[in-house]
Amino acid sequence: MATTPRLSRTEVAAHLRVVVARTARRLRQEVDAGLSPSQNAALATLDSRGPLTPSELAAHERIQRPTATRLLARLEEDGLVRRSADPDDRRSALITISDRGRTLLHESRTRKNAYLAQRLRSLGDDELATLDRAAAILERLLDEDVPPS
């Protein structure tokens, strides 16, 4: 009886990287909301963790503060976020997602979910369960890497 050769962590990581990147690119292509991946990620972070200061957003997104400032200026210009005074630090601002930003994010997620659900229709219960377990594992790995609030 032939056995499957054991893959190294590096081989699994390389395969996973390619598949995750292709999946993310395909989802972005399906739903062009006019947002860059960075803008979309910032909105999602503000939706789940906001309100945040620009520095806090930069830390969560792992970008430099000046990059976060430019990103937020664009989102604010488009009416997708709101800026208010930070009651704890008058030199800073608190950023929250606006109703318009939340609606855009919700519509984008709904379209992406529908696209992916359509792609999953051909899978059996065992394969769906495997993907669900894999998603939980990936989520746990990513959560271990999140900077503290």
Place of tokens 């996973």: 16
Q: What is the pLDDT at residue 138?
A: 92
Residue 28 lies in a domain: no
> pLDDT-derived band of residue 66, with 50, 70 and 90 as boundaries?
very high
For residues 85 and 79, what is the distance between their CA atoms, to the nearest angstrom? 17
Structure tokens at 66: 């000046």
CA distance 35 to 46: 15
pLDDT tens column, 73-91: 999 999 999 999 988 888 8
Using one digit for the tens of pLDDT, what is the confidence trace for 91-141? 889 999 999 999 999 998 899 899 999 999 999 999 999 999 999 999 998
The single residue listed with the structure tokens 């739903």 is 31
Q: Determine, yes or no, domain membership for 9.
A: no
Q: What's the pTM value of the predicted model, to 2 decimals?
A: 0.76
**3 pLDDT tier (thresholds 50, 70, 90):** low
Residue 27 domain flag: no
In a domain, 3, yes or no: no
Counting the structural domains of the chain, the total is 1
82 located within any domain: yes
Q: Is 8 contained in some domain?
A: no
In a domain, 21, yes or no: no
* 119: containing domain: 34-143
Sign of the dihedral defined by the CA atoms of residues 41, 44, 45, 50, in that order: positive
Cβ-contact 79, 39 below 8 angstroms: no
